[in-house]
Amino acid sequence: MRQSLVLAVSLATCAPCVAQEASVGELLAQADPAIQAQIKTTFGAFASQRSEMRTNWIGFRELASLKEQAGDEEQLVKQLAIYAAVEQRPEDSQVLEALLVLHFLEPKPRIAIRVLAPLLDSENEHLRDFAQEWFEGHLSGSLAERSSDVRNDRDYVNYVRERFIGQEDAPAGFVKFLFEQAPGRALLVFAEAFAQRHVVAKLQHERAKIEAAQQGLPIPQRPAELQRQDQEDRKQQRELRLAEHVVGNAIWLNKNGFDEQFQHALPEAKELLAKLAEHQKWWARLFVAEIMRRHRELRIDDVLERLRRDSHALVSAAAGKAGGKR
Per-residue pLDDT of the chain (326 residues; tens, 9 = 90+): 333 333 333 333 343 333 345 577 888 888 889 999 999 998 888 887 665 666 777 878 888 988 888 888 999 999 999 999 887 777 678 898 999 999 888 899 999 999 999 999 888 899 999 999 999 888 875 544 444 555 568 899 999 998 888 778 899 999 999 999 989 999 999 999 988 876 555 556 556 557 666 767 677 666 677 677 777 878 888 999 999 999 999 999 999 999 999 999 999 999 999 999 999 999 999 999 999 999 999 999 999 999 999 999 999 999 999 875 55
SS3 label, residue 238 = helix
DSSP E strands: which ranges in 75-179?
A: none
Contact between residue 142 and residue 152 where contact means Cβ atoms under 8 Å apart: yes
As a whole number of angstroms, the distance between CA 285 and CA 205 comes to: 33
Supply angle C-alpha 27, 29, 32, rounded to 5.
100
From the CB of residue 2, how many other CB atoms can be counted at a distance below 10 Å?
A: 12
Listed by start position, the domains of the chain span 31-139, 150-320
Contact between residue 285 and residue 243 where contact means Cβ atoms under 8 Å apart: no
